[in-house]
Structure 1
Amino acid sequence: MTDMRAALYDRFGAPDVLYVGAVPAPEITSDQVLVRVRTTSVNGGELTARAGKMRLVTGRRFPQRLGIDFVGEVTEVGSSVTGIAAGRRVWGVLGRSFGAAADYVAVHPRKIAPAPANLSDAEAVSLLAGGTTAMTALRDKARLQPGERLLVRGGSGGVGSVAVQIGALLGARVTALAGAGNLDFVRDLGAAEALDHRTHRPSDLGRYDVVLDTVGTEQRAYRRLLAPGGRMVAIAFDIDRIGASLGYIAGSVVHGAQRVRFFSGNPTTSQLVELARHAEAGSIRPVVDTVRPFDEIADAHRALEAGGVRGKHVLRLT
């Protein structure tokens, strides 16, 4: 095996810059496994990177890669790896790097776990990055408690659709902001209240113990909605005002408990195992918006940019 397919782009720009091309297949080290990727999904950070708004992080060397999550089959195991055999169906998240949108990915065992047996490959990958991010944000960062009031911005998206479910699972009263066409959808996921984000401004809303921000704009206005002892967790920043947005997040530490907690997901095997357990129990369900063949990745990016998404846009490689 020498070459494989991968999603690539040779310049920053609109979805039209994307293509599926040939790159060298990865060679694993002794402490890695090789996974044949069956499905991956499109995440918001990839749109930002492709547009060139994260070039200080991604650099300017081309071609650049895409994809952070994957479901597939282990095909090769490093000599020092134990407890994993070729042929196992797994899911995983690369964390803070791209490259999962390809036929094969080389990963450390701590980045993968057995995929939920009751979910298809498309269903499983739709739950992965959003599920681990929402679980970390609400349980570990915000320490959401039963009976607390939770506001989820972007309640129908890849992270928000799982956050609504996890919030309800943890016993919170969930309010979700979403587009008008998705209000019944987020109520069905477990939101006690669903509001149109276009007609309900922050000043129209009440007080919340926890605010989960998956959008990144107007963070100052949404932080003002926190009740005494409230916590705000952000997984996004304003991509059109990156310096000001990140500066506000960093400066919010002066507000003590009401600072904006920002993090980038980097899940471990234990988190993947826990998420799989919830999926197999039916307490968290996947939400698939569309499933497309791999060579339609540009269409998937266009669809996510158009908004109104319900869950995830999935790409199928096999």
Structure 2
Amino acid sequence: MSGNLMKAVLFDRYGAPDVLYIGEVPRPEPAPGTALVRVAAFSVNGGETPWRAGDLRPFSGRKFPKRVGLDFTGEVVALGPPGKHLGVQPVAVGDRVWGVLGRTAGFGSAAEYVRVPIDRLGRVPEQVDLVAAAALPVATTAVTALFEKAALRPGERLLVRGAAGGVGYAAVQLGRARGAEVTAMARAANLEFVRGLGAEHLVDHRTVVPAELGRFDVILDTAGSEPWTYRRLLRPGGRMVTIAFDLARPVVSVGYLAASWVHGRGRVRFFSGNPNRKHLDDLARRVDGGELRPAVHAVFPLAETAAAHRALEAGGVQGKYVVRVD
């Protein structure tokens, strides 16, 4: 392979996981205010599978090849000149770092190298190896949802939908650490897993009757289906944060969330995680403080990224599927 090329996971058409393959693309060079990171590992995230399948065509377009990979861990191998607002570089060559590609960057961390703005990098805690750490960067979404958007307080009742998934498993741990009474909703096979994370009450999402769950101060919804049903479970002053919408009924789902925001005084909030260095450093402090630990369901080599996508789509993940880049 030429010295200015690198391996990356690509796809030339929309479809099932088998459309993914390992190809060669130009290796990026560090630009001002950015770092070049040699990727150690990344995880497979829920938003990537509909992107790859073509469910998001209105946003993703028809230009190919396309890339996958949203988060990453790795080592800084080069730095561009400082950006005009940066001053002292907050990371150095050789630092172990993690991050999540920004909204404007899209996907692309499923590769040997990634170029990242320095203000979107954080240092990985020393006690966590880089492969396990790849299960954690999107936990910044749970931190933002619970503490910035919902202002979760000790003693409040918290419901986490999709509690065994990549954001949900972090939310259960963080809710317990905050002193909330955590109810975790997941498939039956995953209930013991979320109990081990600190959930006090366990609910099988396939058999649940929502009206029988009682009332909650905060609901974190990572599933996106039937938000109107779960909004009715909020106590007076309750807050519901959703990070997903129903792909089967996107117009209805998005329309409801928008109406809830306008007419419900913000009781239902939708957001997409977009962490910067402040969020990543806060995540590291929570890991160091014992509030949060990574959960890796399985590790795949880069050549088997399609298998990791297939496993995620099959359901039943406990934490994260991580792909190791050799």
The two structures share one fold, judged by TM-score above 0.5: yes
Partner residue of 1:156 out of 158, 164, 178: 164
Partner residue of 1:27 out of 29, 41, 47: 29
Equivalent residue of 1:91, what SS? strand
Paired residues for 1:269-284 under 5 Å = 269-284=277-292
1:76 Cα deviation after fit: 0.6
1:256 Cα deviation after fit: 2.7
Partner residue of 1:89 out of 83, 89, 96: 96
- Give CA-to-partner distance per residue, 1:16-74, whole Å, 9 cap, x none: 11111111111221211100001000000000111111122222211111111111011
1:189 has 2:197 as partner? yes
Aligned equivalents of 1:38, 1:253: Cα separation in 2: 40
Structure 1 runs of 4+ off > 3 angstroms?
none
1:236 Cα deviation after fit: 0.4
Q: Name 1:302's counterpart in structure 2.
A: 310
The answer to whether the Cα contact below 8 Å between 1:14 and 1:50 also exists between their aligned partners in 2 is yes
The answer to whether the Cα contact below 8 Å between 1:207 and 1:225 also exists between their aligned partners in 2 is yes
Q: Name 1:122's counterpart in structure 2.
A: 131
1:285 has 2:287 as partner? no
1:147 Cα deviation after fit: 0.8
Q: Name 1:103's counterpart in structure 2.
A: 112
Calculate the TM-score normalised by the size of structure 1: 0.97
Name stretches of at least 5 consecutive residues in structure 1 with no aligned partner: none
Aligned equivalents of 1:59, 1:265: Cα separation in 2: 22
1:83 Cα deviation after fit: 3.5
Q: Name 2:75's counterpart in structure 1.
A: 73
Q: Structure 1's 95 and 201: CA in aligned 2 closer, same or farther, altered over 3 A?
A: farther
1:258 Cα deviation after fit: 5.6
Q: Name 1:211's counterpart in structure 2.
A: 219
1:84 Cα deviation after fit: 2.4
Aligned equivalents of 1:225, 1:254: Cα separation in 2: 19
Amino acid at match of 1:53: D
Name stretches of at least 5 consecutive residues in structure 2 with no aligned partner: 84-88
State how many pairs are aligned.
Answer: 317
Identity %: 56
Partner residue of 1:38 out of 40, 44, 48: 40
Deviates more, 1:257-266 or 1:39-48: 257-266
Deviates more, 1:137-146 or 1:252-261: 252-261
